[in-house]
Amino acid sequence: MQIIQELTLLKKIIKDVKKDGLSIGFVPTMGFLHEGHLSLMRTAKAENDFMVMSIFVNPLQFGVGEDYEDYPRDLERDEKLARSVGCDLMFLPSAKEMYPAGYATFVKVEKLTERLCGASRPGHFIGVTTVVAKLFNLVSPDRAYFGQKDAQQAFVLRKMVQDLNMDLNLIILPTTRESDGLAMSSRNKYLTFEQRKNSVVIIESLKMAEELADQGVRNVEEIKKAIYEKISKAKDARIDYLEIVDTEKLLPLTEIKGQCLIAAAVKFGKTRLIDNIILEV
């Protein structure tokens, strides 16, 4: 596995890989890898000739007072894990090279970014789309892999790829979960023992919503009320948002019909966790 920091060196290697006619699968991450990242990387490895992963804790997507400084980092462990899934190239750019003095270009996807995490974290998605557009330009992947846990991020990036005519296939893979159902996230590390135990209420309430829909409940307010009630009973849990939206424009629904996304962000103390399920009725 090659470990590369400099942008010019990366571009040279990518040029050679392309010259050899190899396909490139890419998994961008912010590091502190878990099984969710590894499953994306395994698929990227299986579906492509050359697998690239990046680790970059992107300052641009963190708001003031968010956890940029505290975001968990463990490069040594990440390196071992990346090797264990057959990564060919690990890209570790610096913030100085990604955003040199005078940097002035940003990518903004409108509308899709207005609700859910976009409303709770103003500016977050401009940071995500800008860095991912830059990474796509540097790595030139044939396929790039993202998890459904960050469903809005994946939909926004899919729109960016489409609108900017980027020549790659964006693949969204199912959320990887702990044995009790909690969606894997690097931020789970922040949870205290008790918060970790209680955090399972998020997926339990989403599953309860699915059951209600299976039983024929179609009214969105009724389903949201049931989720609110269940989550508010969990100690320390505070709902940041809970939305039931369509999967095209991410607009709120009044009735469950067709394909819809139930997405929630819940805070346990200072730790904000997100999760979602897609329903098809």
Interface with ligand PAF includes 30 (CB under 6 A)?
Answer: yes
Give dist(CA 240, CA 267) in Å, integer. 7
Among 132, 138, 234, 262, binds ligand PAF (CB under 6 A): 132
Interface with ligand PAF includes 117 (CB under 6 A)?
Answer: no
Contact 115, 252 (CB under 8 A): yes
Pairing of β 259-268 and β 237-246:
antiparallel
Beta bridge partners of 91: 4, 54
CB of 154: closest distance to ligand PAF in angstroms?
9
Give dist(CA 157, CA 80) in Å, integer. 28
Interface with ligand PAF includes 156 (CB under 6 A)?
Answer: no
Between 131 and 184, CB nearer to ligand PAF: 131
Binding mask 60-89 for ligand PAF (x = CB under 6 A): -x----------------------------
Interface with ligand PAF includes 128 (CB under 6 A)?
Answer: yes
**Among 231, 238, 234, which residue's Cα sits nearest to residue 206?**
231
166 Ramachandran zone, left/alpha/beta (phi>0; psi -120 to 50): beta
Q: Is 37 marked active-site?
A: yes
Interface with ligand PAF includes 188 (CB under 6 A)?
Answer: no
Interface with ligand PAF includes 28 (CB under 6 A)?
Answer: yes
- The stretch near ligand PAF (CB under 6 A) out of 62-70, 125-133, 174-182, 262-270 is 125-133
Residue 149: count other Cβ atoms within 10 Å of its Cβ: 20
Catalytic residues, which ones?
Answer: 37
